[in-house]
Amino acid sequence: MSVAVAEAPPAAPGRTPPVLRRIAGLLAPYKGPMLLVLLAVVVAAVLTSIVPFLTRAVFDDALFPTDGGPVNLGLLVWLVAGMIAIPLVTAMIGIAQNYLTTKIGNSAMADLRSALFAHLQRMELAFFTATKTGAIQSRLANDVAGVRTVLTDTATTILQNSVTVVSAFIAMILLSWQLTVITLILMPLFVFIQVRVGRRRQRLARRTQESLSEMTAITEEALSVSGILLAKVFNRAEAETERYRLENQNQTRLQLEAAMTGRAFFAIVQTFFAITPALIYLVAGFLITGKIGAGSDLLTAGTLVAFTTLQARLQMPLVQLMRVTLDVQTSLALFGRIFEYLDLEPAIVERPDAHPLPASHHGGRIEFDHVWFRYPEPRTLAGATPAGPRFATVAATEGAELVEETETAEPVESALDGWTLRDVGFTVEPGQMAAIVGPSGSGKTTTTYLVPRFYDATEGAVRIDGIDVRDLTMGSLAEAVGMVTQEPYLFHGTIGDNIAYARPGATRAEIEQAARDANIHDRIMSFADGYDTITGERGYRLSGGEKQRLAIARVLLMNPRVLILDEATSALDTETERLVQEALDRATRGRTTIAIAHRLSTIQNADVIFGLEDGILVEQGTHAELLARGGLYARLYVEQFGSGQVEGRFTDGVLFADGTKICERPGRRADVAV
């Protein structure tokens, strides 16, 4: 459900509405049920406050009438009936109120989580490349969970207790203002101490949350498949465990400190409340005898019993109010962290006047028009807390190098003058296959990222079929551009679902056809569960070649107008290579393709080759034209493809153009340096 927070226009820095107003906005859709809760609380409090008056009447009018008359049984029955009925009614009101508050709180929480998730989905790729995944997860899980109690319990506790306290005070004053003063005498001191304790608890809470965020980040980093692989390869398992243990210890210490802070204070408050009745009896004695004031005839035994009952009833709500105020202070800090994420404006958004890409049978013309690009600076969040040095203790003892890291990553050094692409201009006609070649870091991947708007050109324009990609709806652009990346991402699910991700609603027959065309159907059928085989987290149960072919099956199912292909020969062996190559041939047929090419055959078959160096398009033409030119491509052709003898380099060796292969030494990877 979209809620006020999600729809509110992003506030400019410094003009962010105060946290409380935003929390109110969050609860706004639940005004009706909240009014009901308020009504329930007031009715329950008023009913409860009537009981002491009934108690007084039981003593002073029914049991021991102050006029010295006999016991009034008739009245007693009525009063007792009232004293039984009131707790019954308030208990029922309590159940209804509990249901409502739990519902409101959890619904508001769900709205907040959904709004945050939807907002993060809209954030541009750059945000995620610059932020630790663990930190994002921590805000979604820990921080939102942290404010949960405020939305569910705390608000009601405050409301309920405030009403109880106010109504009890009114009743106490009505009974005896002098005794009320005795009860309240130490309140100013308590409030003063409480404010100080609150500040300390708030500081501790902030540190606890930061520590929790760090723990989530460590878990996310260390216990992911890649993290475990890294730790195993470099034998860092113990160091990772130690790092976690230290943070865990810190967390325990903070929790303990937070729990103990104010304990002594609350013990004193409770003791004071416990001894107050004794003080009241004493003062009552002085009042009745006229030693204080002018003597009070009104101070009957019934009044005294009723007053001490009220005073005892006041104790819990007052202490709870004090405790809860501390919780609220803590939660406001967490709300701040959540709203900070919601206030981040996505850098790449659909224009209000965006229109869909018109349908076309022969479309897919791609045009780069004087494109300049530089990677945006990573955003820094106010709540982002610099983490301590990694493996601090271990590093100190081992003398290892320390790696500082923060929630926001360090900016990555870009190419010359900060520009990653400089005045790049080219056109790929519909149905053409274009190959981009160039040294590592020359900007090949970056160029392809501008087509589906993972990033926007800083200057110049990228067009599909003559339309600036920034004028297109995000949906139609995503439908028009398919991608097969070097490391295809598979989510934890069945193989069938992973392929169908490209087109939800695709039939099993369509999925199987795509898998057949991608040369992966037979392999899938060889698994015991066929298409229902679980891929495992990020597809780690599948080989590089299998993942590649699944990614190709996805694209075939999606049938985009434009295909962007990042060939990953170095992740394949020569056997799988043939299967992948065939699948790719089918995938590129009949659609415009831009390939970051690592295979000789891809480049030779390309209609046009673009040579990139330091973000500049230094040459373009066909294989023959560029060879004749003797420039960048001719150099790469000699260095990487042995002047046409080498087809590509794979995990198990080098494949030659004539089909022969030379196996590399086992364990050594033949990497492509193009």
Ligand X SMILES: Nc1ncnc2c1ncn2[C@@H]1O[C@H](COP(=O)(O)OP(=O)(O)OP(=O)(O)O)[C@@H](O)[C@H]1O
Chain residues in the site for ligand X (CB under 6 A):
129, 375, 412, 414-415, 420, 438, 440-446
Q: CA–CA separation, 307 vs 79, rounded Å?
A: 18
Return the amino acid letter for 263. Answer: R
Phi, psi of 464 (to 5 degrees): -115, 125
Q: Which is nearer to ligand X, 235 or 440 (CB)?
A: 440
Confirm if 449 and 326 have CB atoms less than 8 A apart.
Answer: no
Q: CA–CA separation, 319 vs 200, rounded Å?
A: 18
Confirm if 480 and 591 have CB atoms less than 8 A apart.
Answer: no
Q: CA–CA separation, 593 vs 366, rounded Å?
A: 9
Beta-bridged to residue 434, according to DSSP, are 594, 608
Q: Which is nearer to ligand X, 30 or 373 (CB)?
A: 373
Chain centroid offset of residue 29 CA: 23
Confirm if 527 and 579 have CB atoms less than 8 A apart.
Answer: no
CB of 596 to ligand X, least distance (A): 6
Pick from 523, 526, 527: nearest CA to 515:
523
CB of 128 to ligand X, least distance (A): 10
Residue corresponding to tokens 């509405």: 17
Q: CA–CA separation, 493 vs 491, rounded Å?
A: 6
Q: CA–CA separation, 367 vs 382, rounded Å?
A: 40
Beta-bridged to residue 619, according to DSSP, are 611
In sign, the C-alpha dihedral spanning 112, 115, 117, 120 is negative
CB of 444 to ligand X, least distance (A): 4
Q: CA–CA separation, 72 vs 58, rounded Å?
A: 9
Pick from 222, 233, 234, 316: nearest CA to 269:
316
User: DSSP assignment of 213-225, as one string?
Assistant: HHHHHHHHHHSSH
Q: Which is nearer to ligand X, 412 or 638 (CB)?
A: 412
Pick from 460, 446, 376, 415: nearest CA to 610:
446
Cα angle, residue 122 at apex, residues 117 and 124 outer, rounded to 5°: 120
Tell me how crowded residue 476 is: count the other CB atoms within 10 A of its CB.
18
Which residues, in sequence order, are CB contacts of 3 under 8 Å at separation 6+?
25, 26, 29, 108, 111, 112, 114, 115
Q: CA–CA separation, 308 vs 175, rounded Å?
A: 11
Tell me how crowded residue 365 is: count the other CB atoms within 10 A of its CB.
20
Return the amino acid letter for 464. Answer: I
Chain centroid offset of residue 627 CA: 51
